[in-house]
Structure 1
Amino acid sequence: MYEQLSTRHHGVPSVPEDEEEPTEYTSLLPKATNLDATRSESQGGSDDDDDDSLQDYSSRQKWLSEFWWLLKASVPVILAYTLQNSLQTISVLVVGRSSPEDLATAAFSLMFAMITAWMIALGGTTALDTLASSTFTASTNKHDLGILLQRGFFVLTLFYIPVAVLWACSESVFLGLGQDPRLSRDSARFLTCLIPGGLGYIYFELMKKYLQAQGIMRPGTYVLMITSPFNAVLNYLFCYTFKMGLLGAPFATGISYWLSFGMLVLYARFVAGSECWGGWSRESLQNLGTFARLAILGVVHVGTEWWAFEIVALAAGRLGTIPLAAQSVIMTADQVLNTIPFGVGVATSARVGNLLGSRNASGAARAANAAAWLSMVLGGVVLAVLIGTRQDFAKIFNSDERVVRLTAEVLPYVALFQIADGLNGSCGGSLRGMGRQHVGAMVNLVSYYCGALPLGIWLAFHGWGLKGLWVGQCIALYLVGALEWAIVALSNWNKEVDKAFLRMDAHERMETGIGE
């Protein structure tokens, strides 16, 4: 079964790093030995030429197998994140039927949720990308993965508490930022009602990462295919049938998040993934510092890019109504398109971590570079689609001719950075699999905040308008993509294997024969 894919079995001695254990998943192409068996002496050539041909064929086989594995693993992850984003998009659309004020409140509130609590979910859970994937293949005790999941519940719940307090007191924060009093009051009420649901969102992400570390990629998609339409019905019932108005949306969305988490737990319990649980253990309260440090760095790594885009959105609001409308169209589209590199990055981090845990340094290097090429191919496809539809793209969202025209002018810059955004996603995933979130965070901070973002804002208010903001983002993404790929390509993968084992708990290292 595809979902039960893993690169190694627990307790099986590790495979030499220049080859992979043959399974139906890692051996997707004919074996090189089959080629050798059909080769005839009558073809001529020396034995050395034959050996070189076989080595070249074997190398191509491994690269194509890796490329295909990553593609198959990425697709369900991309679909899952697209459906996950649809939950809040549906809330905005349903609430927006009542009044423009409610539409603005819902959109503003969910944007604030995205740059606070959702960062804990999407960034903090990358600690599991690093720790769980390598532990799954390295440890002889499969229950160690369940201990890491419990540790994630504990640490990220602690991280969420100050965010929940911030949401409950957010009216004064919004007023301090100069927002409209009514918007500030209603957004604070919206976020207060969303507090329980925010924790469900985080737990759902943790369960997904727990399963992905085992190579089980599809359940998140299955669950969201059920809860996404249910969320739409629930939003309508709460907002209109039960006459809860604006506040019906956060309650409905929160219930949908918890339902998604609960269904994923049931999937793990009755379908695949339960063998790594092992029950609650006090060991989950040990080594919290390592998990917390990786989680914080993951939040910064993911957040630095998202926060930069939010700054661009705020700057666009100062350019006027039409630029703001065009910016809304582009940002909405970019949120959907960003699920592609982000999904590739999630699959890559799990794959790289698995291979590091199995002491397969060359396999991890090959996976990281194959992911970079895959992301650029997908980015090229998106680029072509955006360029081909740029004249009519904005009509999907708005029929105003000025918005359509301005969007068409800016869209080529957005299309241009899709390849770089793909590199950013895949190489960022490799860095998370290696436990080097701090490197990705530093690259993002320098590229966005010390250069490209100030340049984009300066251009925007010195004649370039909205195009200037996106020129800055384009420069930032190419800087990030190029730097991260260079860092990944030049990594010492044998040292990364050693580091993967050093990050494990002491008892896990003893079990793998590493010692303390």
Structure 2
Amino acid sequence: MSSAPVPIPARRRHDRLFEPSSLVPTSYLSRSPLAEEIIARDLAECVDDDADSDQDSNWDSDSLLGAEDHLDLSAALGAPLISRPTGIAYGTLRPTIAANVPGTPALAPRDVVASRRAERSLLRDNHIIPPKHPRPFEESRWRQLYRRLFSTKVPVGDDEEDHFGPLLSRVSTKALESTPLLTDDGQGYVSPSPSEQQFQWDAAVAGNLIKTTWQREAQTLGQYSRSLIVTFLLHYSVTVTSVFTVGRIGRLELGAVSLATMTANITCYAPVQGLSTCLDTLCAQAYGSGHKKLVGLQLQRMTYLLWMLLLPIVTLWWYSERVLASIIPDPETAALAGLYLRVLILGTPGVAAFESGKRFVQAQGLFHATTWVLLIGAPLNVAANWFFVWKLELGFPGAAAAVVFTQNLLPFLLFLYVRFIEGMECWNGLSKRAFHNWGPMIKLALPGMIMVEAQYFAFEVLTLASSQFGSAHLAAQSIIVTVTSTTFNIPFPLSIAASTRVANLIGARLSGAARTSAKVALAAGLLVGLFNLTLLSTLRFRLPYLFTRDDDVAAIVSRVLPICAVLQVFDSLAAISHGLLRGIGRQRVGTYTNLFAYYLVALPISFSVGWVLRWKLEGLWLGIVVGLVVVSSVELWYLHQADWEHAVEEAEMRLKSDEAQHGVEFK
């Protein structure tokens, strides 16, 4: 079967990514009018400032690419296989995804390189371009078995394996004159040039020849998620270390830190994280438009806004003892929680600065910056807990002081990274303009705050409920929340990786490959859930004593952990399925399903079983299990019924809509 050659598209997505522009360039195709308004106002204010209209988009490909990866700029743009997750909030309790963040994140040069490498790998897997490492003439049986089990190549039969010429002829009846498929001696292969690779990729996609394997998708999901898992676990280790330390002090202290953390999450951390997710749009908008100095301006503006919002929060925390004493029956626990919160006040500016700073570096594609910061900060947090609690003998307030130390240390380390390693190109110093143009930014930020707050509150209310059963149950709740949130930091990053990969494949019009990737992600999520189930089940009598020496508290935790073990399977599947829904552009289905399941199913069952049947903490967590069963079942059913081809069509329609709005041609 053969067909006429498919022409290389004259202009593809992001083909104007690095073109000069005068105001709001059409290269960055945001679907957020508010974001465009903010950038337009900022540029209007600094139209005479050459630094803020910087268009320095040149990059040294030699520093990013090897010999095989060396791309010319015109062939490098397009990058359909790389995108970035947005709206992610993590660090305390359970990570969450905010409401759909409008706008399309801009691609950094390293993203373009990664996209081209991903395209080349798929072309090799489908035998369309020469393999990187030709198969030897003779292979051992073990080598053959290994290749059959783990090779990422699409199977086409033993006689056709690695014979890429016939498959390429199905794409085009003529090869490019400058693309030798074999060297003169017929032994070695010559890889195509970047422009030839682009031709072959576009033609192969048009000919529906690009397939994938579970081995390829498992490898890709592993690469995408491993650094995310490390980052999430390191960030949450700040909370784990605090609970671990306080648990060695006593039962009341353990319950108090749980109550204080609940209050801090609902009143401060969730709003701060939710509001800062709008920088995923604003910083990316500024970076993608080529006005890189505006990225630093957005950082300053959000940080100042968050610091101003801390004023009423600080007031609430200072008098929190009175508020909590009116809610919970144990005044001593309320007093300790109030003391913990008063100390935490000193760390709130650092929390706000770090949340904004994360978005500042991520807009530049520097996702590893946060990981490096946490690799230093997490061990120092452990040392700080030992120093304040045991060395200085401050006890319970020392645990809060250690948290404050870490919360202020992390933004400082991030500043050092930007200042001395990379990221300074988007900083133009402090500016008075950061105090202008707040209205549109607040409108853009509010949906993210509301969604994060809603997801936090659904779980935090269990801590408030458990306080009604006594200090032992409140202390046990602190341990259970810590354990289940730690385990959730494995499937949640995997869901982000799955969402990114599926979205990339859908954007590249590879619906079949996207379905394969989704199946692999669900299988991986199930395995992670079963692993967590086994872990909690087998260690149900040992885990509690890592956090407490109180036998009563440990006994309660041991009774609840089997329920939490079952929860792990559905929690993991729900996380993966929600990520896949985001990948195919159906995130609203997952969002509404989660809110319905938590507030109309899980919490009513929790309160009913907990109080009416007197199951107490076991009843509270049983309701959460039922809610997650509903979430995972509904989302999996929707994914099974979803029309993936229609998702591809919708992605193309969104591009055409952007084209009509901005006057840019897409292919």
What TM-score results when the alignment is normalised by the length of structure 2? Answer: 0.61
Instruction: State whether structure 2 residue 241 is matched by structure 1 residue 93.
Output: no
Residues 42, 19 of structure 1: alpha-carbon distance in 2 compared, 3 angstrom cutoff: closer
SS state of the match for residue 279, structure 1? coil
Instruction: State whether structure 2 residue 380 is matched by structure 1 residue 380.
Output: no
Give the deviation of 1:267 after TM superposition.
Answer: 0.7
Q: Which moved more, 1:286-295 or 1:83-92?
A: 286-295
One of 35, 44, 53 as aligned partner of 2:127: 35
Identity %: 26
SS state of the match for residue 292, structure 2? coil
Q: Which moved more, 1:484-493 or 1:107-116?
A: 484-493
Give the distance between the partners of 2:369 and 2:165, measured in 1 at CA: 52
One of 549, 561, 569 as aligned partner of 1:416: 569
Q: Match of 2:18?
A: 11
One of 482, 493, 498 as aligned partner of 2:651: 493
Q: Match of 1:506?
A: none
Give the deviation of 1:264 after TM superposition.
Answer: 0.6
Query: Is contact 1:10–1:141 with CA below 8 Å preserved after alignment?
Result: no
Give the distance between the partners of 1:220 and 1:425, measured in 2 at CA: 25
Amino acid of the structure 1 residue aligned with 2:251: P
Partner deviation per Cα, 1:453-502 (whole Å, 9 max, x = no partner): 21343344455935554443234335545459769977643565689999
* Map 1:167-246 → 2, pairs under 5 A: 167-246=317-396
Instruction: State whether structure 2 residue 100 is matched by structure 1 residue 23.
Output: no
Give the distance between the partners of 2:271 and 2:603, measured in 1 at CA: 24
SS state of the match for residue 35, structure 1? coil
Give the deviation of 1:54 after TM superposition.
Answer: 8.7
Amino acid of the structure 2 residue aligned with 1:229: P
Q: Which runs of 5+ in 2 are unaligned?
A: 1-13, 20-26, 29-76, 83-110, 131-161, 174-202, 546-550
Higher-RCO chain (CA-CA 8 Å, sequence separation at least 6): 1
Instruction: State whether structure 2 residue 579 is matched by structure 1 residue 426.
Output: yes
Give the distance between the partners of 1:349 and 1:318, measured in 2 at CA: 39
Residues 420, 84 of structure 1: alpha-carbon distance in 2 compared, 3 angstrom cutoff: same
Q: Which moved more, 1:442-451 or 1:208-217?
A: 442-451
Give the deviation of 1:212 after TM superposition.
Answer: 2.0
Query: Is contact 2:233–2:486 with CA below 8 Å preserved after alignment?
Result: yes
* Map 1:73-84 → 2, pairs under 5 A: 73-84=224-235
Give the distance between the partners of 2:345 and 2:595, measured in 1 at CA: 29
Higher helix share: 1
Residues 470, 96 of structure 1: alpha-carbon distance in 2 compared, 3 angstrom cutoff: closer
SS state of the match for residue 117, structure 2? coil
Query: Is contact 1:66–1:370 with CA below 8 Å preserved after alignment?
Result: yes
Amino acid of the structure 1 residue aligned with 2:123: A
Give the distance between the partners of 2:558 and 2:228, measured in 1 at CA: 34
Give the distance between the partners of 1:185 and 1:345, measured in 2 at CA: 39
SS state of the match for residue 394, structure 1? coil
Amino acid of the structure 1 residue aligned with 2:273: L
Q: Which moved more, 1:361-370 or 1:382-391?
A: 361-370
Query: Is contact 1:456–1:472 with CA below 8 Å preserved after alignment?
Result: yes
Residues 120, 427 of structure 1: alpha-carbon distance in 2 compared, 3 angstrom cutoff: farther
What TM-score results when the alignment is normalised by the length of structure 1? Answer: 0.77
Give the distance between the partners of 1:211 and 1:70, measured in 2 at CA: 23
Give the deviation of 1:259 after TM superposition.
Answer: 1.2
Amino acid of the structure 2 residue aligned with 1:474: V
Residues 179, 200 of structure 1: alpha-carbon distance in 2 compared, 3 angstrom cutoff: farther
SS state of the match for residue 185, structure 1? helix
Q: Match of 1:505?
A: none
Partner deviation per Cα, 1:340-369 (whole Å, 9 max, x = no partner): 34435666888999x8xxxx9557999998
* Map 1:100-111 → 2, pairs under 5 A: 100-111=251-262
Q: Which moved more, 1:376-385 or 1:192-201?
A: 376-385
| Bigger Rg, which one | 2
Give the deviation of 1:328 after TM superposition.
Answer: 4.7
Amino acid of the structure 2 residue aligned with 1:305: Q
Amino acid of the structure 1 residue aligned with 2:530: A
